[in-house]
């Protein structure tokens, strides 16, 4: 069965609902019709029993009348008495047979009622099981649709997560490029710092060189001052020199402080910018790494859930297929049960018609007896002479012989009862292999595969058969025996007319007969030793006529 055939829309639900209502209506009408037929059959049985009882009372009354007439006739009618006693014995025999048939009918009525009740229970069980299976299939379809929706939702989420992962990978690539650019910028800044430090060193050396030159000039001036002996000149040059030295020193200090402050500010600004950039990029990198880890974990969890849902979906699909196969098998068993019930009803109708015919024959016999009693009454009242009596006796004898010849021509001889065997059977199975038929004379056994799609291997299986509660007969099936869908295999005993043509027909050469008797129980056992099918057969003798 293809799961895609299930549609979850409202049209499909309305179709299933209408078909279910139609099936329920037809089943209800069929049950009402069966109840009506069973009620009519019960009424007919009750009417037949009442008629039999009435005839029994009438016969007892006739027997009493005959005894009274025999006593009144006395020794003068010994020949007529013997003849009528023979007829009376025959009538008693007919009455006894009728009573036996009535008792048998009364015994069969509860059995038939129980069988009808059992068939009704089996029918109700099949209807309930079928409704339960339908409800379970609907629930599985709903669950399957929910799982399918969840699977589609997870697929969309997986696609979104994959897109987000792609975006994060792109951002990660951009951040890596930015980080490489920042690293190159940091190297350039380091080179600039080294260059500035070298420039500072050059400026310091230049200042040191200038200082040395100025000290040499100062020493020259001091020497000239020493050579100049004028006090005013010495004071003048000394003050001028001090002022010049002071100005140079102030200018040098200011220049050094200015350069130092500028370098420190520039270095601090650059370092702050670099540190802030590096810390920001590090935070972004950490966030991206954590987000990637989280998305990877979520992606792994979603993949695990998708795998679990797909496995669960596969299991539910297989379960739906198994339930559909089981539903088909139950429908087939239900149809077979209906056929058996129809056959049983037909058989009851035939038996009822046979009883009606027997009852009509008894009515004819009753009319004959009433005519004979009327003749006896006429003889006792003296309406006829002895010649007339002889004529009447001869006429009654001829009518009796003609009646016996009529009964003989219809049912054999007038003194022999025709006995037939009534065969009933009951079969059950736990799987798709069942025992379809067993021969009453032990010649063959038929196994059937009720599945429409599955081949089943029954090689090595065993069949146990018990006849009249005696020792079991065990039959082992050949290895590698496979039974195709909707096929049967006929298992023959040796020398019983069967042919060995597997897999449709096989012959068990070790056994000449599988056993015969009044009661037979046949059990099919699989390779694990489990009983999978049972077939019970009863044979009951029944009277159908004289």
Domain boundary residue, one of 308, 327, 342: 308
- The full DSSP string for 40-76 is HHHHHHHHHHHHHHHHHHHHHHHHHHHHHHHHHHGGG
Cis peptide before 153 (omega within 30 of 0): no
501-516, pLDDT tens digit by residue?
888 899 988 888 888 8
Give yes or no for residue 151 having a pLDDT over 50. yes
Residue 190 maps to a domain = yes
Assign residue 420 a region (left: φ > 0; alpha: ψ between -120 and 50; beta: otherwise): beta
Last residue of a domain, one of 285, 308, 331: 308
Q: Do 171 and 304 belong together in one domain?
A: yes
Q: Are residues 170 and 304 in the same domain?
A: yes
Residue 176 and residue 298 in one domain: yes
261 falls within a domain: yes
* pLDDT digit string, tens, across residues 272-291: 877 777 777 777 777 777 88
The reported pTM is 0.28
pLDDT of residue 179: 72
Average model confidence (pLDDT) across the chain: 74
In a domain, 260, yes or no: yes
Which of the pair, 277 or 14, is modelled with greater confidence? Answer: 277
Does residue 384 carry a pLDDT above 70? Answer: no
Check residue 228 and give its pLDDT. Answer: 53
Q: Is residue 203 part of a domain?
A: yes
pLDDT at 177: 78
Min mean pLDDT across 3-7, 93-97, 467-471 is at: 3-7
Q: Is residue 89 part of a domain?
A: no
The better pLDDT of the pair 374, 466 is held by 466
Give the pair of three-digit tokens for residue 490.
């006929």
Q: Is residue 522 within 8 Å of residue 464, measured between CB atoms?
A: yes
Q: Is the model's pLDDT at 115 over the cut of 90? A: no
pLDDT tens string 401-418:
344 344 334 443 333 333
Among the ranges given (80-94, 147-161, 474-488, 520-534), the one the predictor scored with the smallest mean pLDDT: 80-94
Give the domain-ending residue among 262, 281, 308. 308
Domain encompassing residue 288: 162-308
Q: Please report the pLDDT score of residue 447 as a whole number.
A: 92
pLDDT at residue number 420: 43
Q: Provide the pLDDT confidence category of residue 463 given band limits of 50, 70 and 90.
A: very high
Q: Which residues pair with 491 in a beta bridge?
A: 445, 506
Lowest-confidence range among 135-149, 157-171, 362-376, 523-537? Answer: 362-376
pLDDT of res. 246:
79
Q: Same structural domain for residues 181 and 304?
A: yes
For residues 374 and 369, what is the distance between their CA atoms, to the nearest angstrom?
9
Nearest to 104 by CA among 31, 52, 55, 157: 52
Please report the pLDDT score of residue 181 as a whole number.
Answer: 78
Of 8 and 104, which is predicted with more confidence? 104
SS3 (DSSP) at 316: helix
Q: Is residue 185 part of a domain?
A: yes
Average pLDDT over residues 112-134: 79
Report for 40-49, 261-270, 396-405, 478-487: range of highest mean pLDDT? 478-487
At residue 348, the pLDDT reads: 83
Say whether both 178 and 304 belong to one domain.
Answer: yes
Mean pLDDT score, 160-178: 78
The mean per-residue pLDDT over the stretch 356-384 comes to 68
Reading the block at residue 505, the tokens are: 């027909």
Count of all residues that appear for the chain in the document: 546
pLDDT of residue 19: 52
In a domain, 175, yes or no: yes
pLDDT bucket at 303, cuts 50 / 70 / 90: confident
User: What pLDDT score was predicted for residue 523?
Assistant: 92
Count of domains observed in the chain: 2
Confidence (pLDDT) at 250: 81
433, part of any domain:
yes
Q: Examine the pLDDT at 15 and tell me if it is beyond 60.
A: no
CATH of the domain at 474: 2.60.40.1260
In a shared domain, residues 304 and 179: yes
> Who has greater pLDDT, 481 or 211?
481
* Phi, psi (rounded to 5 degrees) for 174: -65, -40
């Amino acid at each position: 069965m293809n799961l895609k055939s299930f549609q979850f829309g409202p049209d499909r639900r309305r179709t299933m609902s209408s078909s279910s209502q139609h099936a329920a209506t037809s089943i209800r009408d069929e049950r009402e019709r069966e109840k009506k037929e069973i009620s009519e059959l019960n009424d007919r049985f009750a009417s037949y029993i009442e008629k039999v009882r009435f005839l029994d009372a009438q016969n007892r009354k006739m027997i009493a009348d005959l005894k009274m007439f025999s006593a009144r006739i006395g020794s003068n009618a010994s020949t007529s008495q013997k003849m009528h006693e023979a007829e009376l014995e025959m009538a008693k025999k007919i009455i006894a047979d009728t009573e036996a048939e009535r008792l048998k009918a009364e015994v069969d009525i509860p059995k038939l009622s129980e069988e009808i009740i059992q068939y009704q229970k089996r029918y109700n069980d099949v209807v309930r099981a079928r409704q339960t299976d339908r409800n379970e299939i609907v629930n599985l379809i709903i669950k399957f649709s929910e799982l399918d929706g969840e699977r589609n939702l997870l697929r969309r989420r997986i696609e979104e997560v994959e897109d987000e992962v792609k975006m994060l990978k792109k951002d990660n690539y951009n951040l890596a490029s930015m980080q490489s650019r920042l690293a190159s910028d940091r190297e350039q800044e380091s080179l600039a710092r080294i260059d500035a430090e070298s420039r500072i060193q050059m400026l310091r050396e230049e200042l040191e060189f200038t200082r040395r030159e100025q000290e040499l000039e100062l020493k020259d001036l001091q020497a000239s001052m020493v050579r100049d002996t004028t006090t005013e000149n010495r004071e003048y040059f000394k003050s001028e020199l001090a002022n010049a030295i002071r100005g140079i020193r102030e200018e040098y200090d200011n220049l050094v402080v200015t350069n130092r402050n500028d370098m420190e500010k520039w270095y601090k600004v650059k370092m702050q910018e670099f540190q802030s950039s590096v810390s920001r990029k590090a935070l972004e990198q950490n966030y991206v790494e954590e987000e990637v880890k989280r998305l990877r974990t979520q992606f792994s969890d979603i993949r695990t859930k998708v795998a679990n849902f797909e496995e669960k979906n596969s299991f539910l699909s297989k379960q739906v297929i198994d339930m559909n196969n089981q539903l088909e098998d139950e429908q087939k068993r239900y149809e077979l049960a209906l056929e058996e019930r129809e056959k049983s009803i037909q058989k009851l109708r035939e038996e009822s018609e046979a009883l009606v015919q027997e009852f009509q024959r008894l009515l004819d016999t009753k009319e004959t007896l009433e005519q004979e009693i009327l003749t006896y009454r006429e003889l006792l009242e003296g309406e006829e002479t002895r010649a007339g009596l002889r004529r009447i006796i001869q006429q009654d004898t001829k009518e009796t012989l003609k009646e016996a010849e009529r009964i003989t021509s219809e049912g054999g001889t007038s003194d022999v009862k025709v006995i037939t065997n009534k065969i009933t059977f009951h079969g059950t199975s736990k799987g798709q292999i069942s025992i379809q038929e067993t021969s009453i004379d032990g010649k063959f056994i038929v196994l059937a595969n009720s599945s429409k799609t599955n081949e089943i291997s029954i090689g090595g299986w065993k069949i146990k058969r018990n006849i009249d509660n005696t020792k079991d007969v065990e039959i082992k099936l050949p290895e590698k025996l496979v039974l195709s869908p909707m096929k049967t295999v006929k298992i023959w005993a040796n020398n019983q007319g069967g042919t060995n043509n597997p897999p449709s027909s096989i012959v068990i050469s070790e056994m000449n007969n599988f056993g015969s008797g009044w009661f037979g129980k046949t059990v099919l056992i699989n390779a694990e030793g489990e009983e999978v099918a049972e077939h019970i057969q009863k044979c009951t003798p029944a009277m159908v006529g004289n």
